[in-house]
């Protein structure tokens, strides 16, 4: 089947100080094609789609859309030409309802009542049911994404750009999204699909362009390649999955009993009666769709949220009432999801950031004064052991790439030899090589006798590292099950299925 | 077209270079303003910046005045800068300064007519306590009821000024003052006077305290865990909580410290240069100190220089008013320009300015 070309890029280059984000990039998307843009974090995918959407201008190169030259100076111009985009991070207001949020993103919104009717029409037509009058703050992540998609569909786009759309969805929700996208494609809408999840691309996309370090390194029909071949094209080297020696688990190191904590955020998820226990040498994976209480669970464990003393015990010692540093003293260390601003202070040097959590266990304070020499040894140790690429310890944390900073932050905790370590999204937005390194480091820590808890939205990651799996759904934790023999479908159901969604094709994946 | 690009690392050069650039730009813009007012701009700038130091006719008076004016500014600024770094905005140092003076003076006068020199240290403690207590009001309201410390501390300035007026008119009024408002002149009571320590320098105990505060703040910020927590809480509040910093404790600490230092400044002023509690004792040091804190980039050494510079423009400004007939408002506008340019060029340390031709779109 030959398709008419909708969008063509030729010789696109874009530089930022110190980096070439894109260099001589070219590819074409046919009408009605689902085209994948594949690459690791930092490969230049985001910059490229921002240029197509008019957020960034290319330094060199041309684009044509529907045969005519296309050089949008602003997203408004791109939208006028029929380009719509669903961002990875939603731009929605929690305190407004669905219709109001949709109106805010439109150039000429119709009156509310008309808009609400339209939203209902489109949402039912594409199998994305959505009540226009509901508050966005009450919606799940999957439903929020539907708001964004419907906002785009109302503008009748010729090209729909989707940036990592499945990172917030359960497997069932992913299937429903794919049915919607296929229906759109069959009606002639082209879709540019950005992801680094290979299996998804193999099931959904007709063509793929692979980027590495800003350059096109290949294009293919993803259905004809194995996931491994795609991964190696994307990374440029052969990958080795993390290994773990079979270890005997020891006594219980972390025990949580009936932990209930109110969220600090009015639209956050409070924790409800959570119980679990993790033994020495064991890795527990906690899965869940974003916003189901992961952040609150981490805060409750780090000591930023307090609870009853006996709700959390570490090595038999109650710690629920203790603050972060007292918990560190006991041996409970944590790695929050947000690297910049939570795990690390962006404008502070790596030296200061090493001190940030290392002060207690590394004894970096004497009579209230900071031992900067000792801190420097600690920071350099982290940088060396965890292969953090940085000019030195005085570099600001924000100057590091995501992967390097994450290696530093996780390394900082592991190097303090925790008895219990809890990490939230340890490899989010990190390149494949760094992700493999971090997972291996966590497994090594478990092998050294620590209890490890990995909270992650990446099911593949959990299956790779965890011995047991538990799902966090609306602030409740399921009973853990062994990961051995667990299927993605079963995990999806544990994560809460598809929250009552229906697919565009009519069959209901939630009950499949 | 100009475009700003964020630097990956803050520029070391511009962190130290911006205050000088700001002073230079202020001289240019101020010169234009003076020219528009029909005055010789070069003479006016020279009068403000150079004559107080080097003109033989006035320097013997104005040179010591620089330390006299800089001491309270630096002392208050150091305290404020710690809070500002932690994101605790004490805008009411003027009130704490006034309360420090009233507490200190009242303590001294309670022992009148003692000749024991021990009363002076006691007054110093009372002055620091007065400022501390006045700053505790917004601090505790904030930690208990989440009120804005900005508003509460600012409004308490006006309460303090009412108390000042009442002190000058009633409870601290000089019984031998022939009915005039104002307390006894403390500078003339040997046991309570804060006189010049080295003749001809203008250095009094307030100056000594200011230098000590600069040194202590420097060590605190560079080496002490409290300084680290202050910086961390200001830059990344969530990371601070993760690091185990208690934000409420930090609010109380920063407010208390800045209040105590402002109170000290008030005490040294009322026992020295001002001499007595009068209705117009508060001349705005507490507000100017905010400018000094930012002019010095919230850095102790920077504040020392900024305080001296600000004192210089005060004295030079008075000189220019007197010699050239410049209106007082023009001098205030000139000082305002200094703060404006400083904040404006501040972005050079974190951003790079690029010139982009119109053709390159």
SS (H, E, C) B53-108: HHCHHHHHHHHHHHHHHHHHHHHHHHHHHHHHHHCCCCCCHHHHHHHHHHHHHHHH
> In sequence order, what are the residues at sequence separation of 6 or more whose Cβ sits closer than 8 angstroms to the Cβ of residue B303?
B74, B77, B78, B81, B214, B292, B293, B295, B296
CATH superfamily for domain A5-235: P-loop containing nucleotide triphosphate hydrolases (3.40.50.300)
- Residue span of the structural domain in which B229 resides: 65-325
Judged by DSSP in three states, B46 sits in helix
- Predicted pLDDT of residue B356: 64
Residues of B in contact with A304 (CB under 8 A): 241-242
Identify whether the C-beta of residue A431 lies closer than 8 Å to the C-beta of residue A462. no
C-alpha distance from residue B116 to each of B119, B120, B240, B271 (Å):
6, 8, 48, 15
Domain count, chain B: 1
Partner residue facing A341 (CB), from B10, B236, B244:
B236
- Average pLDDT value for chain B: 91
From the options 3.40.309.10, 3.40.50.300, 3.40.50.1100, 3.40.50.450, give the CATH code of A252-494. Answer: 3.40.50.300
Pairing of strands A190-195, A34-38: parallel
Q: What is the CB-side half-sphere exposure of residue A137 using CA atoms within 13 A?
A: 9
Domain assignment of residue B78, yes or no = yes
Identify whether the C-beta of residue B12 lies closer than 8 Å to the C-beta of residue B297. no
Residue A366 host element (H or E):
strand A365-366
Identify whether the C-beta of residue B279 lies closer than 8 Å to the C-beta of residue B164. yes
Positive or negative, the CA dihedral B200, B201, B207, B208 is negative
Identify whether the C-beta of residue B100 lies closer than 8 Å to the C-beta of residue B76. no
- Predicted pLDDT of residue B361: 39
Domain assignment of residue B183, yes or no = yes
Residue in B5, B11, B229, B243 to test binding to A, most A beta-carbons within 10 Å: B243
Residue in A369, A372, A395, A398 to test binding to B, most B beta-carbons within 10 Å: A369
Closest CA to A465 of A443, A435, A448: A443
Partner residue facing A341 (CB), from B5, B231, B238:
B238
Domain assignment of residue B5, yes or no = no
C-alpha distance from residue B157 to each of A121, A504, B131, B277 (Å):
61, 66, 11, 16
The per-residue b/e assignment along B121-141, b for 16 or more CB within 10 angstroms, e otherwise, is ebbbbbbbbbbbbbbbbbbbb
C-alpha distance from residue B140 to each of B133, B153, B160, B223, B254 (Å):
10, 11, 18, 28, 12
CA B139 to chain CA centroid, nearest Å: 20
Closest CA to A416 of A318, A330, A301: A330
C-alpha distance from residue B349 to each of A210, A347, B27, B163 (Å):
38, 12, 21, 44
Q: What values do phi and psi take at A36, rounded to 5?
A: -95, 140
* DSSP state, residue B224: B
Q: How many angstroms separate the CA atoms of A385 and A31, rounded?
A: 50
CA B124 to chain CA centroid, nearest Å: 18
- Predicted pLDDT of residue B5: 77
Q: How many angstroms separate the CA atoms of B54 and B65, rounded?
A: 13
Identify whether the C-beta of residue B242 lies closer than 8 Å to the C-beta of residue A304. yes
Residues in a beta bridge with A314: A254, A317
C-alpha distance from residue A286 to each of A320, B168, B198 (Å):
20, 69, 71
Partner residue facing A345 (CB), from B10, B226, B235:
B235
* Whether residue B13 has pLDDT greater than 90: no
CB atoms within 10 A of CB A17: 10
Q: Distance from A304 to chain B by nearest Cα, in Å?
A: 6
Contact B243 A356 (CB under 8 A): yes
Q: How many angstroms separate the CA atoms of A97 and A116, rounded?
A: 11
Pairing of strands A190-195, A159-163: parallel
Partner residue facing B243 (CB), from A338, A341, A357:
A357
Q: How many angstroms separate the CA atoms of A181 and A38, rounded?
A: 18
C-alpha distance from residue B65 to each of B76, B206, B269, B338 (Å):
18, 13, 13, 21
* Whether residue B320 has pLDDT greater than 80: yes
Residue A277 host element (H or E):
strand A271-279
- Predicted pLDDT of residue B2: 74
Q: In which band, very low, low, confident or very high, does the pLDDT at B212 lie, cut at 50, 70 and 90?
A: very high
Where in chain A do CATH 3.40.50.300 domains reside?
A: 5-235, 252-494
Query: What is the pLDDT averaged over residues B201-212?
Result: 94
Residue in B6, B241, B242 to test binding to A, most A beta-carbons within 10 Å: B242
Q: Is A347 on the interface with B (CB under 8 A)?
A: yes
Q: What values do phi and psi take at B175, rounded to 5?
A: -65, -20
Burial of B245 (0-12, 13-18, 19+ CB in 10 A): buried
The per-residue b/e assignment along A303-335, b for 16 or more CB within 10 angstroms, e otherwise, is bbbbbeeebbbbbeebbbebbbeebbebbbbbb
Residues of B in contact with A355 (CB under 8 A): 228
Closest CA to B306 of B288, B283, B279: B288
Q: How many angstroms separate the CA atoms of B335 and A85, rounded?
A: 49
Cis-peptide into B113, omega within 30 deg: yes
Q: How many angstroms separate the CA atoms of B269 and B288, rounded?
A: 15
3-state SS of chain B: helix, strand, coil percent to 5?
75, 5, 25
> In sequence order, what are the residues at sequence separation of 6 or more whose Cβ sits closer than 8 angstroms to the Cβ of residue A172?
A492, A493, A497, A498, A501, A509, A510, A512
- Predicted pLDDT of residue A242: 62
The per-residue b/e assignment along A182-204, b for 16 or more CB within 10 angstroms, e otherwise, is bbbbeeebbbbbbbbbbebbbeb
Q: How many angstroms separate the CA atoms of B55 and B20, rounded?
A: 23
Q: How many angstroms separate the CA atoms of A38 and A52, rounded?
A: 16
**Range list of H helices, A386-431:** 402-414
Q: Which residues of chain A have pLDDT under 50?
A: 1, 499-512
Q: Is A370 on the interface with B (CB under 8 A)?
A: yes
Which range of A394-408, B171-185, B215-229 scores highest in mean pLDDT? It is B215-229
Closest CA to A500 of A225, A255, A143, A55: A143
Q: Distance from A364 to chain B by nearest Cα, in Å?
A: 10
Q: How many angstroms separate the CA atoms of A335 and A386, rounded?
A: 15
Taking the CA atoms of residue A350, residue B352, residue A13 and residue A406 in that order, the dihedral angle to the nearest 10 degrees is: 10
Residues in a beta bridge with A312: A256
Judged by DSSP in three states, A270 sits in coil
- Predicted pLDDT of residue A500: 42
Q: How many angstroms separate the CA atoms of A418 and A411, rounded?
A: 11
Contact B244 A365 (CB under 8 A): no
CB atoms within 10 A of CB A69: 8
Residues of A in contact with B225 (CB under 8 A): 359, 365, 368-370
Domain assignment of residue B303, yes or no = yes
Identify whether the C-beta of residue B11 lies closer than 8 Å to the C-beta of residue B345. no
Judged by DSSP in three states, A6 sits in strand
- Predicted pLDDT of residue B246: 93
Residue B159 host element (H or E):
helix B149-166
pLDDT digits (tens, 9 = 90+) for B279-296: 999 888 999 999 899 888
**Range list of H helices, A126-170:** 141-153
pLDDT digits (tens, 9 = 90+) for A44-77: 888 899 899 998 889 999 999 988 999 998 888 9
Residue B264: give its domain's CATH number. Answer: 1.10.3470
Taking the CA atoms of residue B109, residue B113, residue B119 and residue B122 in that order, the dihedral angle to the nearest 10 degrees is: -20
Q: How many angstroms separate the CA atoms of B66 and A473, rounded?
A: 67
Q: How many angstroms separate the CA atoms of A386 and A179, rounded?
A: 42
* Whether residue B151 has pLDDT greater than 80: yes
Residue in A345, A398, A400 to test binding to B, most B beta-carbons within 10 Å: A345
> In sequence order, what are the residues at sequence separation of 6 or more whose Cβ sits closer than 8 angstroms to the Cβ of residue A507?
none
Q: Is A375 on the interface with B (CB under 8 A)?
A: no
Q: Distance from B125 to chain A by nearest Cα, in Å?
A: 25
Q: What values do phi and psi take at A193, rounded to 5?
A: -115, 115
């Amino acid at each position: 089947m030959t398709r008419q070309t909708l969008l063509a890029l030729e010789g696109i280059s874009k530089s930022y100080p110190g980096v070439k984000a894109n260099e001589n990039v070219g590819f074409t998307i046919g009408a009605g094609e689902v085209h994948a843009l594949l690459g690791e974090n930092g490969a230049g995918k985001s910059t490229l789609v921002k240029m197509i959407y008019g957020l960034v201008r290319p330094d060199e190169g041309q684009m044509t859309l529907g045969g005519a030259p296309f050089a949008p100076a602003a997203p408004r111009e791109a939208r006028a030409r029929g380009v719509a985009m669903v961002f990875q991070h939603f731009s929605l207001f929690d305190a407004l309802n669905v219709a109001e949020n949709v109106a805010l993103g439109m150039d000429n919104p119709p009156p509310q009542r008309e808009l609400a009717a339209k939203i209902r029409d489109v949402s039912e037509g594409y199998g994305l049911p959505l009540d226009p009058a509901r508050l966005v703050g009450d919606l799940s992540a999957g439903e929020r994404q539907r708001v964004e998609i419907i906002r785009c569909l109302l503008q009748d786009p010729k090209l729909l750009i989707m940036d990592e759309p499945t990172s917030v969805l359960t497997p069932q929700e992913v299937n429903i999204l794919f049915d919607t996208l296929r229906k759109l494609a069959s009606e002639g809408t082209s879709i540019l699909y950005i992801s680094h999840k290979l299996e998804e691309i193999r099931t959904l996309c007709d063509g793929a362009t692979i980027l590495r370090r800003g350059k096109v390194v290949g294009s293919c029909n993803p259905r004809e390649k194995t996931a491994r071949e795609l991964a190696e094209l994307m990374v440029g080297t052969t990958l080795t999955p993390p290994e773990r020696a079979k270890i005997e688990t020891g006594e219980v190191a972390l025990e949580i009993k009936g932990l209930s904590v109110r969220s600090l955020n009015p639209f956050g998820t409070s924790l409800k009666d959570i119980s679990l226990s993790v033994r020495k040498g064991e890795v527990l994976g906690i899965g869940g769709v974003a916003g189901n209480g992961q952040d609150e669970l981490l805060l409750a464990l780090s000591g930023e949220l307090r609870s009853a003393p006996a709700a959390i015990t570490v090595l038999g010692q109650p710690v629920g009432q203790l603050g972060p540093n007292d918990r560190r003293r006991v041996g409970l260390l944590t790695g929050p999801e947000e690297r910049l601003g939570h795990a690390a202070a962006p404008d502070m040097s790596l030296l200061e950031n090493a001190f940030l959590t290392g002060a207690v266990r590394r004894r970096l304070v004497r009579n209230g004064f900071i031992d900067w020499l000792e801190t420097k040894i600690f920071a350099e140790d982290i940088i060396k052991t965890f292969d953090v690429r940085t000019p030195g310890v005085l570099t600001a944390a924000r100057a590091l790439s995501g992967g390097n900073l994450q290696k530093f932050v996780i390394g900082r905790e592991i190097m303090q030899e925790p008895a219990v370590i809890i990490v939230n999204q340890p490899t989010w937005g990190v390149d494949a090589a760094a992700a493999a390194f971090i997972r291996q480091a966590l497994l090594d820590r478990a092998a050294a006798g620590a209890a490890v808890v990995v909270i992650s939205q990446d099911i593949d990651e959990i299956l790779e590292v965890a011995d047991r799996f538990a799902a966090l759904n609306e602030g409740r934790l399921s009973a853990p099950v062994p990961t051995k023999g667990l299927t993605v479908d079963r995990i999806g159901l544990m994560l809460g299925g598809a929250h009552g969604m229906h697919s565009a094709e009519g069959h209901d994946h939630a009950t499949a | 077209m100009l475009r700003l690009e964020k630097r990956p690392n803050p520029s070391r050069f511009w962190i130290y270079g911006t205050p000088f650039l700001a002073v230079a730009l202020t001289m240019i813009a101020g010169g234009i303003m003076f020219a528009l007012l029909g005055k010789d701009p070069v003479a006016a700038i020279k009068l403000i910046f150079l004559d107080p130091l080097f003109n033989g006719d006035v320097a013997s008076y104005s040179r010591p005045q620089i330390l006299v004016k800089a001491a309270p500014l630096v002392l208050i600024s150091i305290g404020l800068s710690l809070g500002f770094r932690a994101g605790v905005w004490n805008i009411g140092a003027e009130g704490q300064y006034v309360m420090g003076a009233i507490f200190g003076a009242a303590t001294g006068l309670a022992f009148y007519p003692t000749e024991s020199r021990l009363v002076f240290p006691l007054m110093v403690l009372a002055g620091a306590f007065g400022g501390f207590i006045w700053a505790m009001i917004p601090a505790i309201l904030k930690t208990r009821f989440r009120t804005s410390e900005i508003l509460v501390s600012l409004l308490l300035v006006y309460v303090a000024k009412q108390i000042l007026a009442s002190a000058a008119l009633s409870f601290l009024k000089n019984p031998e003052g022939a009915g005039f408002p104002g307390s006894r002149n403390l500078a003339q009571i040997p046991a309570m006077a804060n006189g010049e320590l080295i003749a001809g320098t203008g250095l009094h105990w307030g100056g000594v305290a200011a230098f000590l505060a600069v040194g202590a703040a420097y060590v605190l910020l560079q080496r002490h865990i409290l300084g680290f927590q202050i910086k961390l809480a200001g830059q990344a509040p969530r990371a601070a909580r993760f690091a185990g910093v208690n934000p409420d404790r930090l609010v109380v600490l920063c407010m208390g410290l800045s209040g105590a230092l402002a109170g000290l400044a008030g005490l040294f002023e009322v026992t020295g240069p001002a001499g007595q509690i009068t209705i117009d004792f508060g001349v705005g040091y507490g507000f100017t100190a905010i400018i000094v804190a930012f002019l010095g980039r919230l850095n102790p050494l920077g504040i020392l220089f900024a305080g001296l510079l600000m004192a210089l423009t005060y004295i030079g400004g008075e000189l220019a008013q007197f010699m050239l007939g410049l209106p007082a408002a023009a001098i205030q506008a000139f000082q305002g320009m200094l703060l404006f340019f400083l904040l404006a060029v501040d972005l050079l340390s974190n951003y790079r300015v690029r010139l982009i031709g119109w053709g390159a779109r």
